[in-house]
Structure 1
Amino acid sequence: MHIAFVSNVVYPYVTGGAEKRIHEIGSRLAAWGHDVTVYGRHFWDGPPEIMNNGMTLRAVAPEADLYSDDKRSITEALDFAARALPSLRRRLRNGEHDIVVASVFPYFPVLSTKLAALGTETPLVTTWHEVWGDYWEEYLGSLAVFGKVSERVTARTPQHPVAISGITADRLAEIGPGYDDVAVVPNGIDTEQIRTAPRPDAGYDVLFAGRLIEHKNVDLLLEAFDRVCAGRDLSLGIIGDGPEKERLESQCESLSNADAVEFLGFLDEYEDVLGHMRAADVFASPSTREGFGLTFAEAMAADCSVIAADHPDSAADEVIGDAGFLTPPNADALAATLESSLDDDSPPADPVNRAQRFDWDAVASQAETIYQRVIDSESATAEPISDATTPT
């Protein structure tokens, strides 16, 4: 297959989850004999077209700031969509690619990719990481209508949608016509890298890793940990940065066991995060909005007892299954689950074995199956592509 990925950001020059997914799947597909090209912004030094891990990285727009006032820049997304269109259009018309895969979100590059493919035989696959719906009101306030409309227009654009979780697939089916059986290909992890990550000199009993934003509910974790910590020699490490950091640090100062909590900030080296997971006993993240929940899979592979929030807006239950613990997102329930986990209450299933299903090799194989099936189909709706969904 000749596969084109479209993403304004390109890993490893920008290190987010969506671009890492493209890198991990794309590099494996390239190693398996497929021709892979990534169209993105010019975040690397050197010429606009380079080879990286067997893939062609092709810059169709210059480097640009991705955020404005701590929110993704609409101007940047529009600019990238406009700049990517001519190059994609020319190459798709020349038949250089059998399939084009666009990441959602932002939405506008998906729409320009579809425009580029019009009149050609190149099908469009989209990767949906989340469907925001009413969350737009929290994110944009009075401007939420524009986010909702953009999301719905993108969902109703003819495409082969792939979701990273069942919850995202279900929500996409609610706003997209005919999406009764959306394919699910999860995000992945490198289980070998996790198993061999160097441990720090001293580990924490309880660990959190993630962006410090409101729906991660780190404030609940601090409160619950403080209760459990009473009369016990325990430690909590919090890895990450974000707009909630100052508020959380202030809350921590008021805790009875503030000295048992350490904010590590953002760790530049991914292996340092993995090492802390390997050294921890419990990984706890009471986040109520997770399109997938990659840190849960990483922590399971590191043989942590994982605690996640039981919430309809989180796919945590899909990731951990019965290899971890789900708890209502309140301090009382979280404290009780923390205490039992720290007292060696093990989940029914082995977390390491559960994590193996999310290894990047398995994920890339699922993606390969779907891409080939799309290419072989007579039209964008001729054949359902959901057979490769990850088993629960």
Structure 2
Amino acid sequence: MNICYVSNVVYPYITGGAEKRIHEIGTRLAADGHDVTVYGRQFWDGPQVMGYEGTTLYGVAPAEELYADDRRSITEAIDFSARLLPHLRKNIDNHDVVVASLFPYFPVLASRLTTLGTNTPLITTWHEVWLEHWDEYLGRLAPFGKAVERLTAKTPHYPIAVSSVTADRLTKIGPEREKIEVVPNGIDIDQIETTRPVDDGFTVLYAGRLIENKNVDLLLEAFDRVANAYPNATLGIIGDGPEYDALERQATNLDHANRVTMLGFLEEYDDVLAHMRAADVFASPSTREGFGITFAEAMAADCTVIAADHPESAASEVIGDAGFLPSPTVEDVAAALECVLDGKRPSTNPTSRVQQFDWDTVAEQAEQCYQRAIDSTW
């Protein structure tokens, strides 16, 4: 196959989950003999088109600031999409399939325009479906976000969702459930298992964006409630985001503030893994997870995972019975912490459960989906 990926951000120059997924799948498919090209913004120095780990990176637009006031820039997305069109259209006949990274939507619509009148199928990968979350994210502009999301969902294409929860949410605005493939996100299990733990790790760890729906404030309160019964227990919070200052103030005012550490954002991914490898418990009572990659990473690090049981979170799909899924309340999360700190382990070994999310397995599933789209047997 000759596979084309479209993403305005390109790994390793930008290291978010969507672009890392493209990199991990793309490099594995390239190693298996497929031709892989990634069209994106040129965040790298050097030629517009260059090889990288067996793939080809094609810069269709110069580097640009991705965020405006802590939100993804609409003008950046439109600019990238407009610049993408002539390059992809010129080369579309060379590609057997186009796989467009979903957010921020406009590149999907541009990719669809380039495939019109050709036999090249368009695939999208849905990491999340926001629906009513647009109200919180965009405020008075929420109807615009909802309209673009709905238009993208209804644009003719072959949709892949990273979880069944995301697939089910997608059916509310677009394709029927049987037309949506599920290919999960992945992790490099060998990398995690061979990472050396930090010497001064925490008993309980959180890692992720510090945003409202992650409910880190709930975790802080739950830990404070049980800490008196476990005098050696500590809590580490890795991450940054709009809630950082409020959470730091909350942590400072806890009864057991001296046992809580706000580490902020860690630049090196290996440093996050090293903390996971040292922790006994990974806790994240988030109520909105399109997949929940940190749960898989923590399981591979042999942490006992505490997540949250919530209809808008795929945590239960990732964790299964290899962790604990309390309701997202202080009382229930505190009770789960007590169980785990008392030595209770889940019924399924986390390191066994997580094998299904290794990137090698995920890449095989993605390859099969791409071929079905080319053969129109999806």
- Same fold flag (TM > 0.5): yes
Gap change, CA 1:180 and 1:174, over 3 Å in 2 = farther
> What SS does the corresponding residue of 1:175 show, helix, strand or coil?
coil
Residues of 2 paired with 1:343 and 1:309: CA distance?
Answer: 19
- Does residue 61 in structure 1 map to residue 61 in structure 2? yes
Counterpart residue number, 2:167: 169
Q: Percent identity?
A: 66
CA distance in 2, matches of 1:178, 1:301: 34
Contact 1:190–1:360 (8 Å) recurs in 2: yes
Shift of 1:376: 1.2
Q: 1:180 deviation in Å?
A: 3.5
- Inter-partner Cα distance in structure 2 for 1:172 and 1:219: 29
The amino acid across from 1:150 in the alignment is V
Tell me if structure 1 keeps the 8 A contact 2:159–2:179.
no
Distance 1:230 1:177 in 2: 51
Distance 1:100 1:150 in 2: 20
Q: Tell me which residue corresponds to 1:387.
A: none
User: What residue number does 1:33 align with?
Assistant: 33
Question: What value does the CA root-mean-square deviation take over the aligned residues?
Answer: 0.8
CA distance in 2 between counterparts of 1:245 and 1:358 reads 30
Counterpart Cα distance in 2 of 1:177 and 1:169: 9
Q: In the alignment, does 2:209 pair up with 1:236? A: no
My pick for the range that moved more, 22-31 or 135-144, is 135-144
Q: CA deviation at 1:132?
A: 0.3
What is the distance in 1 between the residues matched to 2:127 and 2:68? 21
Secondary structure in structure 1 of the residue aligned to 2:5: strand
Change (3 A) 1:158 1:244: same
Instruction: Find the aligned partners of 1:358 and 1:182 in 2 and give their Cα distance.
Output: 19
How many matched pairs? 377
TM-superposed CA distance for 1:251, in Å, is 0.6
Instruction: Note the alpha carbon deviations across 1:97-141, whole angstroms, 9 max, x for none.
Output: 000000111110000000011111100011111110001011111
Instruction: Tell me which stretches of 4 or more aligned residues in structure 1 moved more than 3 Å.
Output: 177-181
CA deviation string 1:26-47 (max 9, x = no partner): 0000000000000000001111
Partner amino acid, structure 2, of 1:347: P
Rounded Cα–Cα distance in structure 1 between residues aligned with 2:195 and 2:268:
11
1:72-119 deviation digits (Å, cap 9, x = unpaired): 000000000000001111111xx2100000011111000000001111
Aligned to 2:110: 112
Shift of 1:179: 4.3
Q: TM-score, normalised by structure 2?
A: 0.99
Q: Contact (CA 8 Å) 1:198, 1:272: kept in 2 or not?
A: no
Conserved in 1, the CA contact under 8 Å of 2:203 and 2:235? yes
- Kept in 2, the 8 Å contact 1:10–1:19? The answer is yes
- Residues of 1 paired with 2:191 and 2:235: CA distance? 24
The 5 Å alignment of 1:106-255 reads: 106-231=104-229, 232-255=231-254
Determine the structure 1 residue equivalent to 2:79: 79
2:88 equivalent in structure 1: 88
Partners of 1:88 and 1:45 lie apart in 2 by: 21
Contact kept? 1:206, 1:281, Cα under 8 Å: yes
Q: Which residue of structure 1 lines up, in the alignment, with residue 280 of structure 2?
A: 281
**Kept in 2: contact 1:291–1:314 (CA 8 A):** yes
One-letter code of the match for 1:211? Answer: R
Structure 1 residue 342 displacement after superposition: 1.1
Q: Distance in 1 between matches of 2:118 and 2:60?
A: 20
- After superposition, give the CA deviation of every residue in 1:228-280 in whole Å (9 maximum; x if it has no partner): 10142210010001111110010111111000000111111101111110100
Q: Which amino acid aligns with 2:114?
A: A
Please state whether the residue corresponding to 1:273 is helix, strand or coil: helix
